[in-house]
Amino acid sequence: MGVEINHKFNVGSGKNNRELALKKLPGHEPGVVWLGGFRSDMTGTKAQAMVNWAQENGHASLRFDYSGHGASSGDFADGTISRWLEDTTAVIEHHTRGPQILVGSSMGGWITLRLVQEISNSGLDVELAGILLIAPAPDFTKELMEPVFSDQQINELNERGFISELSEYSDEPNIITKELIEDGRNNLVLSGLIETGCPVHILQGMQDPDVPFQHAMRLLDHLPSQNVTMTLIKDGDHRLSREQDIQLMINSLNALVANH
C-alpha cells in the first residue's frame, strides 16, 4: 500500500505566481485526480474516500487545492474559472503519468469539462481513462447565480466589484466578484457537444439545493450518447458525503477502471 506524499508546486509568474498544495500517492494506472468544488479543499470526505480507494486498489492518486483554497497560497477573491483551470492543467501535466480518471465535484465538474475541451482544442497532453462527476455545476455563474441576483447585488457588483453572501458550508461569507462572473461567461460548456473520448459517470442528488438535478440532466444533452451513466439519488443533497453516497462513488470508480 502506497503512502501519500505532500508537495508544493508553483504556477504562474510575477504577481500571478502562487504556490499550490498537493498530495500524491504512487501506484499503477489509471490514476485518479480529485477536482474540488467552490471554496472546498482536498481534505473533504469524498476526496479522502478517493485516496482510500486508490490505496486499497494500488492506483496512483492526486489531489490538490486551487489557489485561494485550503493550503494553497493566494486570495480566494482573485480566483476565476480560468485561473483555477490553469492551476488544474499545470498540476495534472506535471504530476501525473499515463491515463487518468478525473473526479470532479460541484465546480470541479465544470473545471473537468473545461479541461476536456482544452485537451481537444489545445492538444493538452493528458490521456483520460474516465470521468466521474459528483453534483456537477457547469456554467454555474451564468446559469445558477446571475438569474437570481437582486438589483441591489447587481449594483454592488458594478460599483464595488464584488458581493458577499452567507455560506451554508463555512463561517466565512462567499465573496462573488464581478471578475468571476465575467470570466465564467468565457468558460461556458453547455453550448455544444463535449467530446470526452472516455466513459462518464454522473452522481446527482435530487434534493440538492445548490445544483438542481435538472441542471445536471441538462449536461446529458451535451455529452456523447454512448458511455454516459447518470445516477439520480432521490434523497441526496449537494454534499453526497453519506456512507451510501460514498459507496456509489466507489462503485463508479470500480466501473470506470473495469471499463478501461
Hey, which residues are catalytic here? 106, 208, 238
For residue 150, give the amino acid letter: S
What backbone torsions phi and psi does residue 62 show, to the nearest 5 degrees? Answer: -145, 130
For the chain, the C-alpha Rg in angstroms (whole number) is: 17
**Nearest-angstrom CA–CA distance, 50 and 33:** 9
Which helix H or strand E contains 256, and what residues bound it?
helix 243-259
Q: Are 134 and 64 in contact (CB under 8 A)?
A: no
**Nearest-angstrom CA–CA distance, 121 and 123:** 6
**Nearest-angstrom CA–CA distance, 203 and 224:** 17
Helix 151-160 and helix 178-185, axial crossing angle in degrees, nearest 10: 100
> Which residues does residue 23 pair with via DSSP β-bridges, in sequence order?
6, 63
Torsion-angle region of residue 231: left (phi > 0), alpha (psi -120 to 50) or beta?
beta
Contacts of 220 (CB under 8 A, 6+ apart): 202, 228, 230
